[in-house]
Amino acid sequence: MQLSELRILVVLSEEMNMRKASERLFVTQPALSQRLQSIEKSWGFQIFIRSPKGLLLTPAGEKVITFAKEVVDKEEKVREQITDLENEVHGTLKLAVASIIGQHWLPEVLKTYVNTYPHAKISLITGWSSEILKNMYDDHVHLGIIRGNTDWKGIKEHLLTDTLYLVDTEIEKIEDVLQTERPFIQFKSDSSYYQEIQDWWHRQFKTTPKRTIVVDQIETCKQMAFNGIGYAILPSVTLKEEETGVFKIPLLGDDGKPIERDTWLLGFESSIELKQVRAFIDVVKCYKK
């Protein structure tokens, strides 16, 4: 039998009504009745009993319908597998990403993603890590990327570790900070990052900065430092090796090792079942550091 005939039998068994089945199959009721008679003739026995109240399955018909459903189900699964092989990823990927990562690490990742899966769409929210977590808990997004460590009960993948640098056009050594009259340029961030910088500063200098400038974006902070307005503390993810004209001094902890900050990918098991989400995670693996 042809697959089309098996699908007809499946629809008839689900509706048990010629009129409703004909509407689902987009054929006229007489044409469907004629097609059913042809199918039954090929089997050599009656599959359905017609009655004024609808259709009834014969005992032999029950076995035919079981067979038809198995074949149709297997055909659908094979088609899904073939689609997977062809990388046909559809749907919208909903991301919430820490602003620093959204500006400096994510664009290259998304470029690879959209080039590999052109049928997928992207919805992106950026903000502080605390805001990203709220979007995750409120179930507004599939995946979140945050800075710093946090307790998370779902899927948690480490993406990268970067170090903190004091960046300035004049200061060559950490100790010179105490001598300069130029301002310390800070950018607004979540409390954990801000507290980490404050703790390091007080351990290092036992005092507060002489002058400060606070800006709302890290890129503004970086450009002001690179243009000699003052000095800033920036994560390495925002800095490029080819950038010249500034000194980049690593911040060291009490153990003499560079101060590091981790970036994590967060998700729920239910979201990973979505094909567009799994595809993004596969792309991300190529960019983990």
Per-residue pLDDT tens for 131-185?
A: 899 989 888 899 999 998 888 888 999 999 999 999 999 999 998 898 888 999 9
Q: Can you tell me the distance from the alpha carbon of 22 to that of 11, in angstroms, rounded to the nearest whole number?
A: 9
pLDDT digits (tens, 9 = 90+) for 180-209: 889 999 988 876 778 888 888 888 888 888
Q: Can you tell me the distance from the alpha carbon of 277 to that of 254, in angstroms, rounded to the nearest whole number?
A: 40
Q: What is the CA angle 88-93-96, rounded to 5?
A: 160
Q: What is the CA angle 203-209-212, rounded to 5?
A: 135
Domain residue spans in the chain? 3-85, 92-160+262-287, 163-259
Q: Which one of 1.10.10.10, 1.10.606.20, 1.10.357.10, 3.30.450.20 gives the CATH number of domain 3-85? A: 1.10.10.10
Q: Can you tell me the distance from the alpha carbon of 252 to that of 163, in angstroms, rounded to the nearest whole number?
A: 9
Q: Can you tell me the distance from the alpha carbon of 208 to that of 197, in angstroms, rounded to the nearest whole number?
A: 12
CB atoms closer than 10 angstroms to residue 210: 12
Does the structure show a pLDDT above 60 at 230?
A: yes
Q: What is the mean pLDDT of the chain?
A: 90
Task: Read off the pLDDT of each residue in 258-280 and give the average, rounded to a whole number.
Answer: 90
For residue 128 the two structure tokens come to 């502080």
Among residues 211, 196, 135, the alpha carbon closest in space to that of 164 is found at 196
Q: Can you tell me the distance from the alpha carbon of 20 to that of 197, in angstroms, rounded to the nearest whole number?
A: 69
In order of 36, 43, 111, the CA distances from 13 in angstroms are 12, 16, 47
Which residues have C-beta within 8 Å of that of residue 136, sequence separation ≥ 6?
Answer: 96, 144, 266
Architecture of the structural domain at 163-259: 3-Layer(aba) Sandwich (3.40)
Same fold, 3-85 and 92-160+262-287: no
Pairing state between β 260-267 and 143-147: antiparallel
pTM of structure:
0.65
Q: Which one of 3.90.550.10, 3.40.190.10, 3.40.50.12160, 3.40.50.620 gives the CATH number of domain 92-160+262-287? A: 3.40.190.10
The answer to whether the CB of 246 falls within 8 A of the CB of 226 is yes
Q: What is the largest CA-CA distance in the chain?
A: 100
Task: Read off the pLDDT of each residue in 70-96 and give the average, rounded to a whole number.
Answer: 81
pLDDT band at 86 (very low <50, low <70, confident <90, very high): low
Half-sphere exposure of 275 (CA within 13 A, CB side): 15
Q: DSSP states of 251-264 as a string?
A: -B-TTSSBPEEEEE
pLDDT digits (tens, 9 = 90+) for 49-78: 999 889 999 999 999 999 999 999 998 888
Which residues have C-beta within 8 Å of that of residue 244, sequence separation ≥ 6?
Answer: none
- pLDDT for the residue numbered 227: 95
